[in-house]
Chains A and B, each alone.
Chain A
Amino acid sequence: MKIGAIFSPAVQRHFDHDYACKRYREAGIECLDYSLYGVYAIPSEIFSSSRNEWTKEFAERKKIIEGNGLFVNQTHGTYPTNYLSFRDSDWKSKYMKETELDLFKKQIEVASILGAKYIVIHPINHCKNDIEWEENRLLNLDAFSRLEPILREFNVQLGVENMFEHDPVRRRFCKTGCSTPEDMIDLIDTLNASLSSDRFVACLDTGHMLIQSISPDKAVKKLGSRLKLLHVQDNVALSDDHCAPGIGFTDWKAFALALKEVGYDGAFSVEAGLDQPAIIDKELIFDYIEYTAKASRRVIELAEVK
């Protein structure tokens, strides 16, 4: 199983691609989860440039990545997906706008240019707990259906990720439209069946799942062959900390065994938060990445231990 890591905005901001890729490879990383977003809810400036410019730029980046012995396994689109309307309270205003659709068209093409099989585009988060869950489901079916022809055109699959929301009344994180394995399965199967497609697969975020009090290993078993990509991250089951494996409370042995049981053949890609180490010292990012690579190997080995 290939070991992957997020190639986050912090990495892209602080270092040139060649240096960062070299350090990732030295740290034991084999493939990248390439972030196409920059700041929360604000699309990266590069997508405001001409098509010729951004296609050329990402083709150049691919050469640098591959020149360092890495490849892009997956990319991550701008979030929230409904970045123009995510603060609106009325669900009807949260349908994907043409501007948003246009951005994701570009990002799907970029995934293809980078050679990634997958792009993660977050489901839209509208509901908190189960209130207006059906409406939230409609928003997601609409948005993803509109992306399907583009995914097909560029031969990219969309990783449907499990999300969470914050419930300000109860002051805790809570379920939203696509949080549980059942929510993910419903979206993936409905979209693939109704569109006669195979473009929709599951991206399990282990930390997001743990926040919902669902053990990631149980989610893996339910998702089964739909599971094609991962956001591996640890936390203490209370908040979305994006720690490297081992720093939180996830049962990693159970997770590794579950991956083996379902025959998972994708990358073990860690989505660790790199902003905090970078605040101390930007070079500390690579020390943390080295730990995540080692932790990933150890977790995978757990499935081999009797």
Chain B
Amino acid sequence: MKLSIISEHFQDDSSYGLAETFRRIAQIGFDGVDYTLVPVTGKKVYNPFEDEKGWRAHFKKASEEIKKNGLTCEQVHAVFPTNKENQGINFIGDEEVELMKKQIEATEILGAPYMVVHSINIARNYSDLDLDYEANMDMLSKFVPLFEKSSVSLALENIFKSDPLRDRFCITGSSTPERLCRLIDDAHSDSVVACLDTGHAHLVGVNPEAFVKILGKRLKVLHVQDCYGRGDHHNAPGCGNIDWHKFTTALAQIGYDGALNLEVSFKREMKIHPELGWDYMKYAYKAGRALINLVEKAKSTK
């Protein structure tokens, strides 16, 4: 099983830049990367697609640097939110479709088989479930034909929502395995698969291992991250209270054959010192390898 890591927080030029980022990721020992198409560093958004003429060259450069260091691009992360959630717009318009076309092309340049796309989040607990489903199916109907023409699959991720009335996080339209399976299955396309974010599941009281078992063969992509169930903190495994033995056993049980991808946040560590982000990544690497060992052990005792 390959071990990959998110490159956001490091990859843009205001941070370490592409060449140094992938050199160091390879040096730590990772096999692959999870490339963020539009990274946010600090409060600044680095959107290569704003450069109409230059964005393809940017991704070619990124691809070259990834390959030069013996890494593979295991997956990319699309811009989120997928819809104009912050403007109160639920349904996907022409602007998002055009952006998605570019993102698919960029993913192909990077050679990644999967693009993680956030589901649209409208439902809170059991309210607005129908509208949530309708908006997600609308999104999939517009995006899936684009993916089907490409070498990239759309990996739909489980998301959560904040419930301001009850001052807590809550489930939305993709937060439970059953709801995520329904969206994927109703897309009726081999180009739609599941991305499980372990922390998002834990945050809303869904066991990641239960998620794995129900997703089964749909599960192709992971966002492995830990938390204490009180916030979406994207900690390295072991810096939270997810039961990793159960999770890795479940991966072995379903025959998961994708990468073990760590979606750890380095922002807070890098605020102390940029180099501390790398030190935390070294710990994350060891934790990731330990999880892979647990998967292999579970496979051998199956």
Contact = CB atoms under 8 A, between A and B. Distances in A.
A164 to B, nearest CB: 15
Contact of A279 (B245, B275, B276): B245
Nearest to A276: B238
Interface string A235-252: 010110101111111001
A61 B290 CA distance: 30
Interface in B261-302: 268-269, 271-273, 275-276, 279-280, 282-283, 286-287, 290-291, 293-294
A246 B280 contact: yes
B240 A276 contact: yes
A298 B269 CA distance: 10
Interface stretch (A1-9, A110-118, A190-198, A283-291): A283-291
Interface of A: 236, 238-239, 241, 243-249, 252-253, 276-277, 279-281, 283-284, 287-288, 290-291, 294-295, 298-299, 301-302
Contact of B238 (A236, A284, A294): A284
Given A246-B269, A276-B239, A295-B269, A284 B287 contact: yes
A287 to B, nearest CB: 4
A294 B271 CA distance: 14
Interface string B236-252: 01111100110000000
B239 to A, nearest CB: 5
B42 interface: no
A100 to B, nearest CB: 30
Contact of A287 (B245, B283, B293, B294): B283
A36 to B, nearest CB: 25
B293 A281 contact: yes
A248 B271 CA distance: 11
B235 interface: yes
A280 B272 contact: no
Contacts of B235: 243, 247
Interface of B: 226, 228, 230-231, 233, 235, 237-241, 244-245, 268-269, 271-273, 275-276, 279-280, 282-283, 286-287, 290-291, 293-294
Contacts of B230: 236, 238-239
A138 to B, nearest CB: 34
Contact of B283 (A252, A276, A283, A290): A290
Q: Which of B228, B230, B240 has the most CB atoms of chain A within a 10 A radius of its CB?
A: B228
B286 A284 contact: yes
Contacts of B280: 246-247, 291, 295
Most interface-central of A241, A249, A276, A301 (chain B CB within 10 A): A276
Nearest to B231: A236
A283 B273 CA distance: 26
Given A236-B228, A239-B230, A279-B245, A288 B273 contact: no
B239 A243 contact: yes
B251 to A, nearest CB: 14
23 contacts: A236-B230, A239-B228, A246-B268, A247-B268, A247-B269, A276-B240, A277-B238, A277-B287, A279-B238, A279-B245, A280-B244, A280-B291, A281-B290, A281-B294, A283-B290, A284-B238, A287-B282, A288-B238, A291-B280, A294-B279, A295-B272, A295-B276, A298-B276
